[in-house]
Structure 1
């Protein structure tokens, strides 16, 4: 009897097992039909969570971009995936609501039940899987999205393409010579010299942009030195551009030296007035450990370059008549094309003596002036003898530059200009405004910084 029972049990067990296997796929469609409303409610709830999370991440991204930070790639991909799932879920919910409306407006009995069951099944199944397989994993990844960004050094303003740069023939040889020197492994120091206002800074900036485009160096750093160099400020500027942090000022030179040793970095030191102790004071490798680094200087005095050991030095001169006129017309705009102003503008350009800084200053001053009398007045003052206060070979140039100051619109602008000239080259606008407000140059009762 026992053997028979065991035999029967042995026969029935596989049958039950097969029944269980068959029951699962048979029950699954009914499960989706039974949970139709629940699946969509769950989907809508999760979509709302995903929307809120995405909006929160988007706010963080906007704040980071305003702070010139770089967004992590995984955060951007998550945002795209989240939006894609939100769109897909909303489309499915919309189709479900549309189906319900159509069924309510056109009720059917037995004939339409089958098609309704099939649509219900498909929609419920999609809602369930979309929540489980796509939206839930995205919500679980929320913890991996912080922080959303990282700080980096944004490109310097001078690296942006300059629309005002003109490739003059008289400058092409200098550009070629400097470029060849930058590509020569045996050259370390390169200098560009000439009197103030010739466009030395503009030229080396253009060369720097070309070096960035051609990926000639790992990093390119531009530093304004000025007449009274602040070594600590020079070091800090270089360090910031190279992403180098200091714990104290005493280790600046040593850390800069270690950061630049045997590297491939172009360091542009603009407007040098006197020799700098590059290795010992600033911390720039200048010996056999300099690697592929290059130093590019601009100065008014060639002797400064020679004292620092630079032998690849290239001078800059004045623009010729055609080049001067091309620059003047670009700066002055279309006003000079009229017959009355054309001859006057050519005479004014001639009086600028081929000095770019004066050509730009005078042309911009007259750009929005269409009255012939104003142009004649400028020409008259340019032709007047130079005042005795200006000395040696710069007297004419200083007098012409002073003319652009005279034509500032009002006394407030003139006073602000004079204060600016007394401040450092890299002074902030907020510092300028503080001086202006304290000296009561901008007239107004209870004037705030925002109003200023």
Structure 2
């Protein structure tokens, strides 16, 4: 009694499939060596193709400002864990290589990247600018308004307001492409054109050789017409001067004046920077703080910088002294930002811990207006100048330099740059700093950076100059001896230097820091560099230097030599 279940199954198909599988696996092993040789030959040919391709890609990216296509990206290989698996992969890769060589179409290696509508700019929460923001934004919405100006005193918050407008475009949906450019009295129109060209993808090797008119024509053709009601283009700008506003936009209804803050909002901003805890340290401090705010006359920059300086002052006597200093430096009514205002801003400079901090701060004014200063480069210059303490290690010295930078940022004398590795200086603070250096008995600066110089400048009393900056110009040749026996720092970076005559350095016995960076046409150093017997810091970053002269061995004190991005 039971159930009997029978099944008939032919074994022939199973045996056949097993045999096919075994012989197939064996073929991967047997043909492994032949496939490897074939793959190596195919890869060699593909590498040649890739080398030619990447050369074209580099030209497209570096010179034409284009972005490579996805199909240009290469493929990667893997590491097998067994001979059978490896054999399969080799055979597969061999076929892929053949297919890629036969089917790859690289007639186009790059395309223009899409133009972002707006680039977000750093901007902190503000006090008292809300109504001005609404006025500016409302004005931009009017179809009949093509040009608008924002004007007011230096340090009153014009750039902060424009940053907020820019970021409003960044955060909302719209049809505009926003282009940010910096213009100033010592920044020629060509620099503005270059900023616009870089933003819209026109900047390349050929751009630099074009005339002003040719550059203007290229920008116009690219789709940046003069503002009209028909094309909807807009221009908004900031200036300290009313007459500039009138020239750009005669209808004053379309220009917005940014006023100094009224007392209530001024005190609110000051309290934010000084800290409510400090104001409550003593019953008298709050009343004294009102007097300090009154002396700042509602200027946001003064409120911020002096507020930071007073954040650590905990006794009424310290506050009374601050009021006394501020009242001696300027009238109670703010007529303009100039020598009347600088002493007020200088109070924050005077409150720095010691002379070392103050010297490091003054050094920052050697850089061009609105220049993004790389922290590490700045600290290395301070070390070369001997502005920092003596340290057992380079790392320790650099740590002190970054500590000083942090303190200057905390005091609102420096601002954080777009990225964490850089800082910048507000233009009013920079003007004040140059004024301090000009009034100093021991610090004599000669700063002509970013003013489109094409040859060596002339100056009176060269013998008094201790630091000189000619960076960001178009100087091609240095053919006159620089008679500066007390010069310690010389910035010549970002020029078009081609020739430095042998005797140029003859009268610079005290020079400690020499920056020649980003002079890509400078192919060699003069033998006269041996005369720089005090030189400690030599920056050749991004130059065309191909070899160093043997005379360099005479520089016994040289501690820093930057050869990054050179062919040496």
TM-score (norm 2): 0.49
SS of match in other structure, 1:384: helix
- Describe how 1:370-385 pairs up with structure 2 within 5 A: 372=315, 375-376=318-319, 379-385=322-328
Aligned residue-pair number: 356
Alignment match of 2:196 (pick from 235, 238, 258): 238
Q: Which has the higher helix share?
A: 1
Alignment match of 2:23 (pick from 19, 22, 31): 31
- Describe how 1:93-132 pairs up with structure 2 within 5 A: 93=81, 124=84, 128-132=87-91
Q: CA deviation at 1:441?
A: 8.2
Q: Which residue in the other structure is 1:356 paired with? A: 300
- Describe how 1:326-341 pairs up with structure 2 within 5 A: 326-332=268-274, 336=278, 339-340=281-282
Query: Quick one: distance in 2 between partners of 1:253 and 1:24?
Result: 81
Check conservation: 2:297, 2:334, Cα contact below 8 A: no
Quickly say closer, same or farther: Cα 1:155–1:306, change in 2 above 3 A.
Answer: same
SS of match in other structure, 2:256: strand
Check conservation: 1:165, 1:202, Cα contact below 8 A: no
Matched, 1:291 2:231: yes
Query: Quick one: distance in 1 between partners of 2:90 and 2:248?
Result: 70
Matched, 1:402 2:352: no
Q: CA deviation at 1:348?
A: 3.6
For the pair shown, the structure with the greater C-alpha radius of gyration is 1
TM-score (norm 1): 0.59
Q: CA deviation at 1:201?
A: 0.7
1:132-152 Cα shifts (integer Å, max 9, x gaps): 346852797599899999997
Query: Quick one: distance in 2 between partners of 1:135 and 1:345?
Result: 79
Q: Which residue in the other structure is 2:497 paired with? A: none
Q: Which runs of 5+ in 2 are unaligned?
A: 1-13, 382-466, 469-487, 491-509, 514-532, 540-558, 561-568
Q: CA deviation at 1:231?
A: 1.9
Query: Quick one: distance in 2 between partners of 1:130 and 1:233?
Result: 55
Q: Which residue in the other structure is 1:173 paired with? A: 131
Q: CA deviation at 1:448?
A: 1.3
User: Could you say what the CA RMSD is over the residues aligned between the two structures, in angstroms?
Assistant: 5.2
Q: CA deviation at 1:376?
A: 2.5
Query: Quick one: distance in 2 between partners of 1:36 and 1:338?
Result: 83
Q: Which runs of 5+ in 1 are unaligned?
A: 1-21, 97-122, 266-283
Matched, 1:447 2:388: no
Q: CA deviation at 1:294?
A: 1.0
Query: Quick one: distance in 2 between partners of 1:411 and 1:156?
Result: 46
SS of match in other structure, 1:298: strand
Query: Quick one: distance in 2 between partners of 1:179 and 1:235?
Result: 25
Quickly say closer, same or farther: Cα 1:73–1:347, change in 2 above 3 A.
Answer: farther
